[in-house]
Structure 1
Amino acid sequence: MNKNEKQKTGRKGSYELRIKPHFSYIGKLIKKGYKEKDIAKALGVCESTWYKCKAEHSEFSEFIIKCRTEPVKEIEAAMFDSARGFTKKVKKAIKVKNVEYSDGKKASEKEEVIFYEDELYFPPNPMSAKFLLLNWAKNSKGIPKYANDPQTIKLREKELELKEKSQEDWE
């Protein structure tokens, strides 16, 4: 151990006792969409302690970001499909009644449920398309190609030009 390093003594903190041992549980809850304050409550950790631990322990904050990455990708893919329209196979059920006759009279009646697959078409969702165009479509300088107000694009381009010019002036 180096002279400058201090050995920690005393009892372990909330991070070591209540958060770190439960990383897998925390990860599952984050992927299911639980809010961080609800996860903290479930672990018996005060919300302020949770955020303090996130600020002090980079491994913890990075873990939370990593856990959110997969669901965000799934949402983006679903929104992309929604913007373009898609077909999906859906399992459906239908009740069928079988009636048997004997000598012209009803002898027995049986009902059964039969499952089958149907393919449904979901047309493009204009709101999803608009959202993706406003947020994903950017030119080579990172300025959006589309905006609710065309003047916004011109203002952003002018702003970028001024920033580039001010950086040149400093050099």
Structure 2
Amino acid sequence: MNDPRILLIFGLFFVALGGYNLVVGRRRLRAQPGMRPFQQVNILTGSEYLLLALVFFINALARTTLLPSSVTTYLFVASFVLLIISLVLAVMVVRMATRGRPAPRQNADGTASAASADQERRNSQALEIIENSPELEAARRRERRRRRLEHRRKMAEQRRRRAGKA
């Protein structure tokens, strides 16, 4: 990867990915007005991609002969700092993605509690029994039928109004 042209192609690819993620993140921010920008995963990911694109561009510039050799050392330091910042953003994104999943309870010795796993299994079995009961299923069917008939009645009223008969 010493060829600056390849580095530029990778840089352009990451600019496109970053721009897309920033646009999607901005739309999601508008949809949820109380959310802050650093809580939106797409904005963090887009920023990370743009930083990586900047690293590719800096490395491509350092590998050309346009700049004196004394400046290239500073460019490599700058690219290293940008990589560290990008790593911090990546850790934040991964942490936000895994934060919503509940972790199993653990004992003091670090093993998962057998009692909590057994309780969870009993709860899921009880839920299955309740969901599969014939009375509940019959009630669901009656409710669906009632909704379907109500929908048909409303649609018929609309058709009559449009035809001028109501």
Is TM more than 0.5 here? no
* Higher share in strand: 1
Q: Which has the higher contact order (CA 8 A, sep 6+)?
A: 2
Give the TM interval when normalised to the shorter protein. Answer: under 0.3
